[in-house]
Amino acid sequence: MPQMGESIAEGTLSKWLKKVGDEVKRDEPIFEISTDKVDAEIPAPASGVLAEILVKEGETVEVQTVVARLETEKGAAIGKTAPPATSGVVAGSEPKSTTPAAPATPAPQREGTPSPAQPRQPSPAPAIAASHTGNGNSFEDRVRTKSSPLVRKIAAEHGVNIASLQGSGIAGRVTKRDIIGFIESGAPAPAAAPGMRGAGPPSAHPLPLPEAWPGDVVEPMSKMRALISDHMVASRHTSAHVTSFIEIDFTRVARIRARKRSEFEAATGQKLTYMPFIIKAVTQGIQAFPIMNSSVAGTNVIYRKQINIGIAVALEWGLIVPVIKHADDLSLSGITRALNDLAARARAKKLSPEEVQEGTFTITNPGVFGSLMGTPIINQPQVAILGVGAIEKRPKVLPGADGEDTIAIRTCAYFSISFDHRVIDGAIADQFLAFVKKTIESFPETGL
């Protein structure tokens, strides 16, 4: 199971595309994974036969867990206890050598199966950077006690407060094995705080859950939707959200795009939309206001040198945010090519985990569906997210050459910026928006 995004310590194997006994080729999709950051097909690391499936569909496991084994010798028997040449399929990992090697240590026990001889106690949390500790209110501190929906459900059923446990997962995350081991140990269960379910934020479920009425249809959330829910609620409880708005005149960009569109698309093979112009303006705005490209680590602020722009892409089954790395180094045509490629592969479930990681600033575009404006939630651990409203023609009052006001038809849009008031003041956020506005409204003809 790969590391599929910052602060994601586990993932769900949502679907097997092959069954035991099937032949697979290297780089052929073998299963699908799902988190709040990526819903992707994972390729086989080597050619061979799928000999054993270790993780079932719908099961959530920690990153780097081996999920299956491949027989890499042609004709090797299926189902041997210790096949002479197998390749452990760890989603997203580099292909491993098929040369047999003597095991150095016994195989680790699978998650959710405590030892019958001695119930497993949660081990102490691994040490993390000092800048990520302290008051317990930072995003990194919350991640240490965050857990999967299954673990939170088990904890709620047994009245255990996950926040009081030290887990054995990455950054001290409480795993299924930890919670089962704790319950079976017979130790007194720390009571959950009022209003808490598992390790969720204190007010995540302050009211009784609604009941279904006759005729209602009840469907479980998809794994992606459940994780998006957790991520969004955690973000609201982490950052002090404030949103500002501004109106931007796209008339100049619209005219440039209309004049250059055919020539640009013939030269690059790429469809030219408004979004590359917006990304270009945002990268310049970040260079002028570096705090917009930062992260909060306890009482420290990390100023990111890389400008990696995440673009929210709506899918039929959820939402995904692929990242354009080093966007400030790209020309408008380079941004267009990267944007179109990532969006197409996101919808086809062809993104690799690395392509949804390390974003430093996010842009979401609800305007494509006709929305005029919105107040997007910050994509942690970032500190700001830009919302783009519908770009449409409107009547505007403009000063005439003779000093008299006139009414003209202009192409305009409302932009919003949701920012973390812990580190960004309203004046800075508004200056950033004004900079983006000025950059778009004065975009040079030679900018293509």
Residue 118 exposure: Cα atoms within 13 Å on the Cβ side: 3
* Token pair in block for residue 67: 């999920």
Q: Is 158 a catalytic residue?
A: no
Name the catalytic one among 216, 249, 425, 430.
425
Rounded Cα distance between 259 and 35, Å, is 42
Q: Is 405 a catalytic residue?
A: no
* Token pair in block for residue 122: 């949660």
Print the SS3 string covering the chain: CCCCCCCCCEEEEEEECCCCCCEECCCCEEEEEECCCCEEEEECCCCEEEEEECCCCCEEEECCCCCEEEECCCCCCCCCCCCCCEEEECCCCCCCCCCCCCCCCCCCCCCCCCCCCCCCCCCCCCCCCHHHCCCCCCHHHHHHHCCCHHHHHHHHHCCCCHHHCCCCCHHHCCCHHHHHHHHHHCCCCCCCCCCCCCCCCCCCCCCCCCCCCCCCCCCCCCHHHHHHHHHHHHHHHHCCEEEEEEEEECHHHHHHHHHHHHHHHHHHCCCCCCHHHHHHHHHHHHHHCHHHHEEEECCEEEECCCCCEEECEEECCEEECCEECCHHHCCHHHHHHHHHHHHHHHHCCCCCHHHHCCCCEEEECHHHHCCCCCCCCCCCCCCEEEEECCCEEEEEEEECCCCCEEEEEEEEEEEEEEEECCCCCHHHHHHHHHHHHHHHHCCCHHHC
Name the catalytic one among 27, 158, 326, 421.
421
* Token pair in block for residue 408: 């003209």
> Which residue reads 């000025």 in tokens?
438
- CB contact at 8 A, 84 and 113: no
Rounded Cα distance between 271 and 45, Å, is 34
Rounded Cα distance between 30 and 14, Å, is 11
- Catalytic amino acids? 421, 425
